[in-house]
Amino acid sequence: MIKSFLQIRLIQTKRIADQLGLPRAMLLIGLLVLAGFFLFYFAKDSAKATYVTIFFLGALLVLHLNRPDRFFLQTHFDRYKELFFAEYLVFGLPFAAAFLFYEHFLHTAVLIAGIIAILPLKLKLQQNTLNTALQRLLPDHCFEWKSGVRRSFFLIIPAWILGLSFSFLVGSIPVTMVFIGIIVTTFYERSEPLQMLLAFETKPELFLKQKAGNHLLVFMVLMLPLFLAFLVFHASLWYIPGIIFVVLTSILLYAIFTKYAFYIPNSKSGAAGFFQALGAAALFLPVLIPLLWLLTIRFYFKSIKQLNPYLHDFD
């Protein structure tokens, strides 16, 4: 069962690669090689390997709680948790290999234990009915945030509180900022239905300007307490959260424009998914940041073109 399941995943991956086209697929392979290089570079040092483990398990947790095929797998396979485990093990393999290469046996054990601990977690039911004061505080037009915060409430809020509580540790705030930043980029994975786009009744240029401005503002409000807490304990290192904030806002803008550059009502474009993954990768591979800035400019103009058929005759 697990073998056929992984084969299906392989076929799906191949289809996505076909959709991307050769140049983008080559770029993806190049990025994966680069990511592998950085992984081995970071895994060398035990402390850095700990951060890598935390990032991997955090990202896996986000993925696990938001996987859309859970209901299908639960209803069609009795041993669906084994399928999850096999899949996550494949994701974790490069990390485990890097840790084993440098003889970090404890990290490898934590990685596998973390994967096993994530398997039974399921928060969807609570999320569906979740209506906290935080959701009501978010502006009406920031529906990606309303939806995203509801979907990832049990990740964002505990991470934010823990980050603040341990802000006396130098790594706490930067890790929290990056962790929340990764989650926020997932808010823009799916294109909204047409009626929601038309509800704004504005031209593409103004629509994008308003969207980018409003969303950056919400993101700043979320990040500001973290930034201030860092300054209280480590004022001389102010540039660390400062640089992370600049990088995260760049990625946020990039995610917004990528979504609309490939906008098809109510869908999730393969190309958009690829470029958004590239944005998330830039958090770990800073060399990609300049590329992201260039792509942000390109996708801004592409977004205008893509939205024009829907919004062209609004004043």
Binding site for another protein (CB under 8 A): 127-129, 131, 135, 140-141, 143-144, 146-148, 150-151, 190, 192-196, 198-201, 265-266, 309-310, 313-315
Alpha-carbon gap, residue 28 to 275, rounded angstroms: 10
Q: How far is the CB of 80 from another protein (least distance, A)?
A: 20
Q: How far is the CB of 207 from another protein (least distance, A)?
A: 13
Alpha-carbon gap, residue 179 to 244, rounded angstroms: 11
Q: How far is the CB of 163 from another protein (least distance, A)?
A: 23
Q: How far is the CB of 314 from another protein (least distance, A)?
A: 6
Beta carbon nearer to another protein, 128 or 165: 128
In total, the chain counts a number of residues equal to 315
Alpha-carbon gap, residue 248 to 180, rounded angstroms: 10
Beta carbon nearer to another protein, 49 or 138: 138
Q: Give the amino acid at 6.
A: L
Q: How far is the CB of 313 from another protein (least distance, A)?
A: 4
Beta carbon nearer to another protein, 14 or 209: 209
CB 251, CB 292: distance < 8 Å: yes
* Beta strand extents in the chain (DSSP E only): none
Alpha-carbon gap, residue 88 to 118, rounded angstroms: 10
Please state the separation of Cα 87 from the chain's center in Å: 19
Q: How far is the CB of 185 from another protein (least distance, A)?
A: 16
Beta carbon nearer to another protein, 2 or 130: 130
How many CA atoms lie less than 13 Å away from 288 in the CB half-sphere? Answer: 26
Alpha-carbon gap, residue 100 to 97, rounded angstroms: 5
Alpha-carbon gap, residue 224 to 231, rounded angstroms: 11
